[in-house]
């Protein structure tokens, strides 16, 4: 049993008005369908007890991890708060605690190795944009010719997270690759990477599949996803001397605290920070008391 058509339609409209990404909208609607199917009753007839029992079932019986469980919590919060206007049902739901693990970061030589192993020029160009400009994979897939400003050497990122636009740098090497791809593919002006996905662009899954095929031929043990290229971009920027504010702007982070986590991933940042042990017995060490 799915969410009733009227409720589902309203939830979909609410998600669109809130400018959620296409993938997030699909996830939330799917979670709502599974919740309703679990009880075989409309969500308007269900309350806090049913929501909590359902989440406990997912955790204890289906053994969902905290990340997937968090998606269900977010979906049900949206359903009851925004669509059904019953915030009291979910207002006390706790957010699952997700272990804070550091993402994988590629070295420069590993980035070159992985990109060189991707046979498709289209997919190699998309992943080069993810690394060269710090794009999310969906942002890279949606690039258009009109987003490339070679005069100012910037890329316009349209409809980023929460529907926000921003500008990021356009590297000379990426510009050469984009021109090479355009000459070979001759796509229409927009989108640059046409396909059968939402909005007529190549899908993120197609890029992930191409990346998996390339990794199968390499001797790299790191768990590499398209998003790793964005993480590596930010970390390498910091190691190259860029300030946090600049990195925040090109990544499109709302809070600089989100950007600051990349200082924990930068070997240069860590190596250039003196240990207090080295200050003992020196003039600087007197400040330690």
- Model pLDDT, residue 123: 97
User: Could you report the per-residue pLDDT of 63-96, keeping only the tens digit for each?
Assistant: 999 999 999 999 999 999 999 999 999 999 999 9
* Whole-angstrom distance, CA of residue 109 vs CA of residue 275: 29
Query: Pick from 93, 2, 7, 1: which is nearest to 44 by CA?
Result: 7
User: Could you report the per-residue pLDDT of 112-165, keeping only the tens digit for each?
Assistant: 999 999 999 999 999 999 999 999 999 999 999 999 999 999 999 987 776 789
Of 227, 261, 269, 279, the catalytic one is 227
Q: What is the largest CA-CA distance in the chain?
A: 73
CATH class of 5-89: mainly alpha
Angle between helices 66-78 and 5-17 (to 10 degrees): 100
pLDDT band at 240 (very low <50, low <70, confident <90, very high): confident
Of 77, 124, 231, 253, the catalytic one is 253
- Please answer whether residues 182 and 150 qualify as being in contact, where contact means their C-beta atoms are separated by less than 8 angstroms: no
- Please answer whether residues 166 and 160 qualify as being in contact, where contact means their C-beta atoms are separated by less than 8 angstroms: yes
Is residue 264 among the annotated active site residues?
A: no
Is residue 227 among the annotated active site residues?
A: yes
User: Could you report the per-residue pLDDT of 18-56, keeping only the tens digit for each?
Assistant: 988 888 999 999 999 999 999 999 999 999 999 999 999
* DSSP track, 153-180: TEEEE-S-GGG--EEEE--HHHHHHHHH
Of 8, 25, 123, 230, the catalytic one is 230
Listed in sequence order, the DSSP H helices in the chain are 5-17, 22-39, 48-60, 66-78, 108-116, 121-133, 137-141, 172-185, 204-216, 226-239, 244-251, 256-260, 267-271
- Using the predicted structure, report yes or no on whether residue 278 has a pLDDT greater than 80: no
Query: Pick from 75, 89, 82, 80: which is nearest to 29 by CA?
Result: 75
- Using the predicted structure, report yes or no on whether residue 6 has a pLDDT greater than 90: no
Q: To the nearest whole number, what is the mean pLDDT of the chain?
A: 89
Is residue 39 among the annotated active site residues?
A: no
Of 28, 72, 131, 262, the catalytic one is 262
Of 136, 142, 231, 236, the catalytic one is 136
pLDDT band at 1 (very low <50, low <70, confident <90, very high): low
Is residue 230 among the annotated active site residues?
A: yes
Of 161, 181, 231, 236, the catalytic one is 161
Quote the pTM value.
0.72
What 8-state DSSP symbol labels residue 83? I
pLDDT band at 100 (very low <50, low <70, confident <90, very high): confident
Per-residue exposure over 120-146, b if at least 16 CB sit within 10 Å of its own CB, e if not: bebbbbbbbbbbbbbbbbbbbbbbbee
Is residue 136 among the annotated active site residues?
A: yes
Topology of the domain comprising 108-270: hpI Integrase; Chain A (1.10.443)
Task: State mean pLDDT over 231-259.
Answer: 88
The yes-or-no answer to whether 5-89 and 108-270 have a common fold is no
Q: What percent of the chain lies above the pLDDT cut of 90?
A: 66
- Using the predicted structure, report yes or no on whether residue 3 has a pLDDT greater than 70: no
């Amino acid at each position: 049993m799915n969410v009733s058509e009227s409720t589902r339609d309203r939830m979909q409209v609410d998600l669109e008005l809130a400018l959620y990404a296409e993938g997030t909208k699909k996830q939330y609607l799917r979670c709502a369908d599974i919740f309703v199917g679990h009880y075989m009753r409309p969500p308007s007839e269900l309350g806090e007890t049913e929501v909590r029992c359902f989440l406990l079932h997912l955790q204890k019986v289906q053994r969902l991890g905290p990340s997937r469980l968090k998606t269900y919590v977010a979906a049900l919060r949206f359903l009851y708060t925004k669509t059904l206007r019953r915030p009291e049902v979910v207002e006390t739901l706790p957010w699952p605690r997700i272990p804070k693990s550091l993402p994988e970061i590629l070295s420069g030589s590993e980035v070159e190795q992985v990109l060189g192993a991707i046979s498709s020029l289209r997919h190699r160009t998309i992943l080069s944009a993810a690394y060269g400009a710090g794009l999310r994979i969906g942002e890279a897939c949606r690039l258009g010719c009109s987003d490339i400003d070679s005069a100012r050497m910037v890329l316009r990122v349209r409809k980023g997270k929460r529907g926000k636009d921003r500008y990021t740098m356009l590297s000379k090497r990426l510009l050469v690759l984009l021109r090479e791809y355009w000459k070979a593919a001759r796509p229409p002006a927009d989108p640059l990477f046409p396909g059968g996905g939402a909005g007529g662009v190549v899908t993120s899954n197609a890029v992930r599949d191409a990346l998996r095929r390339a990794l199968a031929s390499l001797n790299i043990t790191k768990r590499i996803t398209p998003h790793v290229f964005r993480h590596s971009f930010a970390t390498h920027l910091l190691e190259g001397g860029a300030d946090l504010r600049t990195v925040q702007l090109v990544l499109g982070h709302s809070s600089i605290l989100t950007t600051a986590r990349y200082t924990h991933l930068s070997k240069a940042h860590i190596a250039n920070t003196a240990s207090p042990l080295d200050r003992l017995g020196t003039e600087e060490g007197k400040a330690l008391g």
